[in-house]
C-alpha cells in the first residue's frame, strides 16, 4: 500500500508542473526570492525541437512507462490495477505534452 501512495504522490508532484520543486529550493527561507530576471519575454517563441530530440523524448517516455509497469508487477489486486492505469495515464499525458511542443 505504501508503494502505491508513493507512486500517487510522485504523480501528483509531476502533474503540478514543477511547482513543488520550484517552491522547495535550497535558497534560505529568510532571504526573499529575487524577481525572475532570466524569464523569457512574453512574445518570445520557444525553440523548436529537432526530429532527433523528439524521437529521444518519445523513447524516454516509453522507457519510463515500461519501468513503471515493471514496478506494478510487485503489487497485487486493486493496487496492481491502479498502478498500471497510473503508468498508462502518465505515458499518455507525457506524449500529449510532447505533441503540443513546437
Three-class HEC string of 50-102 = CHHHHHHHHHHHHHHHHHHHHHHCCCCHHHHHHHHHHHHHHHHHHHHHHHHCC
pLDDT tens-digit profile, the chain (102 residues): 455 455 555 555 554 444 444 444 455 555 555 555 555 555 566 688 899 999 999 999 999 999 999 999 999 999 999 999 999 999 999 999 999 988
6 within a domain of the structure (yes/no): no
34 within a domain of the structure (yes/no): no
C-alpha 7/C-alpha 37 separation (Å) is 35
Q: Tell me, what's the pLDDT at 90? A: 96
Q: How many domains does the chain have?
A: 1
* Backbone φ, ψ for residue 31 (5° rounding): -80, 130
25 within a domain of the structure (yes/no): no
35 within a domain of the structure (yes/no): no
21 within a domain of the structure (yes/no): no
The pTM score is: 0.54
Residue span of the structural domain in which 79 resides: 52-102
102 within a domain of the structure (yes/no): yes
Q: Tell me, what's the pLDDT at 67? A: 96
Amino acid at each position: 500500500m505504501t508503494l502505491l501512495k508513493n507512486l500517487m504522490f510522485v504523480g501528483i508532484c509531476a502533474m503540478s508542473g514543477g511547482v513543488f520543486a520550484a517552491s522547495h529550493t535550497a535558497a534560505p527561507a529568510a532571504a526573499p526570492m529575487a524577481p525572475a530576471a532570466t524569464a523569457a519575454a512574453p512574445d518570445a517563441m520557444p525553440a523548436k525541437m529537432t526530429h532527433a530530440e523528439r524521437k529521444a523524448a518519445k523513447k524516454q517516455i516509453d522507457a519510463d512507462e515500461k519501468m513503471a509497469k515493471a514496478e506494478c508487477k510487485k503489487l497485487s489486486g486493486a493496487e496492481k490495477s491502479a498502478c498500471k492505469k497510473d503508468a498508462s495515464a502518465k505515458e499518455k499525458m507525457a506524449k500529449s505534452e510532447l505533441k503540443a511542443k513546437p
